[in-house]
């Protein structure tokens, strides 16, 4: 029976129901769609940088759709494996599986549907190499990182990051069917970026990770060691980010990489100097947010650089 409530001023409030939109939102969150959007973007850049991308636009589109579906499947697998951990962390306790809004069986079906669709799209529209690399990404993140690395080693994300670093190469192979130096350098770039992306957030959430017994670096080796590693990886990311400029002679990208990387290193340096406390936590969160804009900026500059230089505008 429907129960009517008033807001105290005689205005009738409709009872809370679960509209279709909220289910769609839960499916969106379950697939970690915001993270996947950056994965798809880095793959799109891999495609655009590949020779004759426009000639192979059907493979390019199939590649992007396949990565989106397979990345989503990885996100769902991750949450199927760790609903109890998600319940224990403030940041994740409201997720659809942790909160019980979506049943485990439903999530398993959802992951299988996403993965099945990804395999079908990639097998039909791309090539075996692209299919294998994408499957490796999903299994690497959803199974190897989530099930084995995350609960067992503080270096979990260094190795787990390899899965998330694959999309620029997958984009390239979707269009060309082969591997080349430039996409491998982009894989290396995302790989070395990942620790400086995630550890600042891990610093903010260290108490939650400690309570949940997850051996993240700030829990096992302390905040100071983690801040040192963030600085090391920020410098490494800065250096690796300059390689594509040398490979392609694209000085527009080179200038963007120089300045945005210097800012990343500056943030890592400042993070090291702050005394432990709420201000350091706030600054670490800012660095985590900047890391996302930074990667987006680097990959945007790669396409802009290619478009501008190849059209001889400058």
Ligand X SMILES: CC(C)=CCC/C(C)=C/CC/C(C)=C/COP(=O)(O)OP(=O)(O)O
Q: Which residues bind ligand X (CB under 6 A)?
A: 32, 35, 39, 67, 70-71, 74-75, 78, 92, 134, 137-138, 141, 150, 163-164, 166-167, 170
Q: Which residue is closest to ligand HEM by CB? A: 164
Regarding 81 and contact with ligand HEM (CB under 6 A), the answer is no
Of the candidates 249, 264, 250, the one whose C-alpha atom is nearest the C-alpha of residue 296 is: 264
CB of 109 to ligand HEM, least distance (A): 22
Binding-site residue total for ligand HEM (CB under 6 A)?
Answer: 19
Nearer to ligand HEM, 36 or 56 (CB): 36
Regarding 157 and contact with ligand HEM (CB under 6 A), the answer is yes
Q: What string of DSSP letters covers 193-247?
A: HHHHHHHHHHHHTHHHHHHTT---HHHHTHHHHHHHHHHHHHHHHHHHHHHHHHH
3-state SS assignment for residue 12? strand
CB of 23 to ligand X, least distance (A): 21
How many residues are present in the chain? 314
Regarding 39 and contact with ligand HEM (CB under 6 A), the answer is yes
HSE, side-chain direction, 13 A CA sphere, residue 262: 5
Partner interacting with residue 127 (select from ligand HEM, ligand X, none; CB below 5-8 Å by kind):
none
Angle at which helices 167-176 and 33-49 cross, to 10°: 40
Regarding 143 and contact with ligand HEM (CB under 6 A), the answer is no
3-state SS assignment for residue 310? helix
Helix, strand, coil tally for the chain in percent (to 5): 80, 0, 20
Nearer to ligand X, 59 or 78 (CB): 78
The residues binding ligand HEM (CB under 6 A) are 34-35, 38-39, 42, 91, 145, 157, 160-161, 164-165, 190, 194, 197-198, 201, 292, 295
């Amino acid at each position: 029976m429907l129960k009517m409530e008033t807001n105290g001023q005689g205005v009738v409030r409709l009872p809370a129901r679960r509209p279709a939109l909220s289910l769609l939102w839960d499916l969106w969150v379950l697939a970690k769609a915001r993270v996947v959007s950056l994965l798809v973007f880095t793959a799109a850049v891999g495609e655009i940088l590949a020779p004759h991308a426009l000639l192979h636009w059907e493979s390019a589109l199939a590649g992007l759709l396949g990565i989106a579906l397979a990345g989503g499947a990885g996100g769902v697998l991750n949450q199927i494996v760790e609903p109890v951990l998600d319940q224990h962390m403030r940041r994740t306790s409201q997720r659809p599986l942790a909160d019980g809004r979506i049943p485990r069986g439903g999530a398993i079906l959802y992951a299988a549907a996403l993965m099945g669709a990804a395999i079908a799209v990639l097998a039909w529209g791309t090539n075996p190499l692209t299919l294998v690399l994408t499957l490796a990404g999903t299994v690497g993140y959803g199974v190897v990182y989530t099930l084995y690395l995350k609960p067992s080693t503080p270096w979990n994300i260094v190795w787990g990051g390899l899965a998330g670093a694959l999309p620029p190469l997958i984009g390239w192979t979707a269009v060309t069917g082969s591997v080349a130096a430039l996409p491998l350098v982009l894989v290396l770039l995302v790989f070395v970026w990942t620790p400086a992306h995630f550890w600042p957030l891990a610093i903010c959430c260290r108490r939650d990770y400690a309570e949940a017994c997850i051996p993240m670096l700030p829990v096992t080796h302390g905040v100071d060691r983690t801040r040192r590693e963030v600085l090391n990886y920020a410098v490494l990311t800065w250096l690796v980010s300059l390689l594509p400029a040398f490979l392609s002679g694209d000085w527009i990208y080179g200038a963007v990489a120089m300045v945005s990387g210097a800012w990343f290193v500056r943030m890592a340096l400042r993070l090291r100097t702050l005394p432990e406390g709420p201000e350091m936590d706030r600054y670490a969160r800012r660095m985590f947010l900047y890391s996302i804009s930074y990667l987006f900026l680097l990959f945007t500059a790669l396409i802009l650089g290619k478009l501008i230089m190849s059209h001889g505008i400058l």
